[in-house]
Structure 1
Amino acid sequence: MDLLHPQLRAFTAVLEEGSFEAAGRRLHITSSAVSQRIKALEDRLGQVLVLRQPPCRPTPAGELLLRRVRPMQALEAEALADFLPEKNETNRPIAIAVNSDSLDTWFLQALAQLSQAHGYLFDVRVDDQDHTLELIRNGSVLAAVTAEPTPLQGCEVQALGIMRYQAIASTAFVSRHFSQGAQADSLAQAPMIVFNRKDELQWRFIRQITDVTLAPPIHYLPTSTGFVKAAALGLGWCLAPDSMVCDALAARELALVAPGLWLDVPLYWQHAAIRSDTLRNIGAALQNAASSSLGPVQD
């Protein structure tokens, strides 16, 4: 049973599944029926909502509608659970976004607790903490872990804590490249490991040390746990969360590039401002998990 209009159900299914065919399989109707429902919705609103190309993506008008529909889906699921608790069909994945480092450290603990306690399913999207907010803005997710403390219109924010990053490399790499310390000259020559082209952490750390514009050799390596292994193997230097490197530092498998310097990144939980038991439960679980791994956010 659905409380939302079938046209809205088809619209969200196409964007979540990426095609009319996949949406039809999920909704147990033909792809032609999916297309007819979306066309009828577009006619009603006088706007093209879906770019019909693989994968299907929302137009700007579609993003606006999707952002409005996401909270409605959460409230619909809660209403159906109240009246039809025996219906498993009401348990649909909750779309949320998180940065890779959080996902690989403290975040999964909260998801596991929520799944066991409430039976929630999750559709987790991964992006840099400076960019996850865009996934709320375009309607891709209902909520996100973000570095942005200022709420979007129609959203609320909870502080989670500070993730501390250390600049690390293998002991041999540090001896070879930073024997005189982390300075402009050494940072310009030493290979640097960066997650992807959105990753600004290493550059922010460099700006703490020097105002000189540098162009060091760069490895792009899109794996959080692989960062630590790559650094230990001498591929380059990088920033990694305390919790990922403390054991390797203690065992001297890794060394600090600049002892006494680090980068603190405050993290926040930003979500649609609706009276939702689901969002309240998720927020509480995330704050509990974050409290054992992250430092307190300073006012």
Structure 2
Amino acid sequence: MPITEVEGRRLTLSNLDRVLWPRTGTTKGELLHYYATVAATLLPHIRGRAASFVRTPDGVEGQRFFQKRPPAGTPDWVTVAETVRHSGELMDQVLVDDLSTLVWAANLACVEIHVHQWPAGRPEHADRLVLDLDPGEGRTVVDACRVALLLRDRLAEDGLQAWAKTSGAKGLHLLAAVRGASPRTASAYARRVAGELQAGHPAGVVATMAKADRVGRVFIDWSQNSERKTTAAPYTVRAQPAPTVSAPLSWEEVAAARDPRELALTIGEVPARIAEHGDLLAGLLDPERAGTLPD
């Protein structure tokens, strides 16, 4: 097994030729290469946030599991943080704060990285607002783009600047930086705005959880602002049939979308987008752009 050194830490890499995406023939080695290539852009979005992973050791068409606790054999140099479960039990979670930890996780076939909307150790201090646009049966990400434009304008009325990214699956995520919020107030605000959109566009938008109500409409999931929930991180790979990425989009791309395939961005495409456009979510990291939720 090859041994490499990353940031002064020796890592043993295994099974780099193992195919994780059978339909495209994409290997674990290609997954590691992607994460190493985009690390400088990805890490600022997840640094200091407890991470949960979707692991697919036998490939995305095999067994998968959601890993919150540090995996067995986690090196002592990997930073962990203590979080609280629903039961009140304390639990350690990994902080993917550096390149070496990112490569280590990818080598374990941690395909997906999910994080909270609040920094580790500060569960009452939400600094991000997220709205997950999930197309129901008969709708696509193109329909989600139309709703995203409405939501962008609605958030702007309250002084909030929104950024968009693909979910990497079939929908979109809208993100805004906030200050002085908590998961409770962020959830309440997101729920109210989602309800307003449903009231104004009942034929195309739904804000209720019942799956039967989503047919032919785009569901605005406001619940991911809860302190217990996580969302797919910017630039994470997804365990989909192809190695798609939760990739930032410009608003021009959102407005121009006509075919879902245009927004199915993969690990082969995202590094070139970063090289050409930089981080389209960079503004999300700027404290000066954070808004205050209305009462």
TM-score (norm 2): 0.25
Could you say which structure has the higher strand fraction? 2
Larger Rg: 1
Higher helix fraction (1 or 2): 1
